[in-house]
Structure 1
Amino acid sequence: MKPSRKRVWMYEVTVSPLAKNDLKGIWHTTFKKWGENKAADYLRDLDAGIQGLISNPKIGKSRDYIRAGYRSVQINRHVIYYRLEAQTINIVRVLHERMSAENHF
């Protein structure tokens, strides 16, 4: 019997300038409302969600109605919008679940 081989894909994650600004804004808003520890915890949750995409990048819902190739995954109260390009996961925005995505791209 041949040993089974598992194909491993390695993805790089990039974060757009807009998404970086989104994350800064999320931190500041959370900090003002609930303090530094909660802000740090929340950003860690978002980062864990982003890192989770590395092992399963197609888990997100298709968002072709926003732009062709866009996908999203929700982490807590925020939605991470991203697109796959070859071996790269490009994080394009991180928006609150109540924000209309169509108005922010």
Structure 2
Amino acid sequence: MTTAPRRPARPRGTKGGAESSAGAYLLSPQAIADLSEIWDYSAREWGTAQADRYVMALRDACGALASGPMRGQSAEHIRAGYRRQIVGTHVMFFRVGVNGVIDVVRILHQRMDVGAQLALVPPGPRR
């Protein structure tokens, strides 16, 4: 009998937003779901400790973007105002929202159909 990996109610560090020393960021509901799925997959494949480390690396990258959003590459070809940052095997798509807050809209694996996934995201920054 196989058992599912121990999974916290919410992967560590997946609340909807945070402040860094230089700015703040928000995670969309889709980005939170992405982090949860990433944690689940990583825990199954490589164990819970690695899943925790990888999700924290993604969250750390969000904090780094809050202190310098222009670090990310333009993703204007996908949608106006979008930028992206590669972290491991995932791509974080974000936009600079109201008052300079980073709005992380999705965190997708590099092999996913990005256009199809981002088509599901409503346009414009959250208020």
TM tier, shorter chain? 0.7 to 0.9
For residues 10 and 30 of structure 1, the distance between their equivalents in structure 2, rounded to whole angstroms, comes to 30
User: What CA RMSD, in Å, does the superposition of the two structures yield over aligned residues?
Assistant: 1.3
Q: Which has the higher strand share?
A: 1
For residues 20 and 100 of structure 1, the distance between their equivalents in structure 2, rounded to whole angstroms, comes to 19
Deviations 1:25-74 (A, max 9, x none): 00000001111101001111111111111221111111112210000000
Percent identity between matched residues is 34
**Structure ID, larger Rg:** 1
Aligned residues of 1:19 and 1:93 also touching (Cα < 8 A): yes
Work out which of the residue numbers 93, 98, 102 in structure 1 matches 2:111: 98
The structure with higher relative contact order (CA 8 Å, sep 6+) is 1
For residues 25 and 19 of structure 1, the distance between their equivalents in structure 2, rounded to whole angstroms, comes to 10
Aligned residues of 1:66 and 1:102 also touching (Cα < 8 A): yes
Matched, 1:75 2:87: yes
For residues 71 and 105 of structure 2, the distance between their equivalents in structure 1, rounded to whole angstroms, comes to 16
TM-score, scaled relative to structure 1: 0.87
Matched, 1:31 2:31: no
For residues 14 and 44 of structure 1, the distance between their equivalents in structure 2, rounded to whole angstroms, comes to 15
Matched, 1:54 2:66: yes
**Structure 1 outlier segments of 4+, above 3 Å:** none
Deviations 1:55-96 (A, max 9, x none): 211111111122100000001111000000232100000000
Superposed displacement of residue 11, structure 1: 2.5
Q: How many equivalent pairs are there?
A: 97
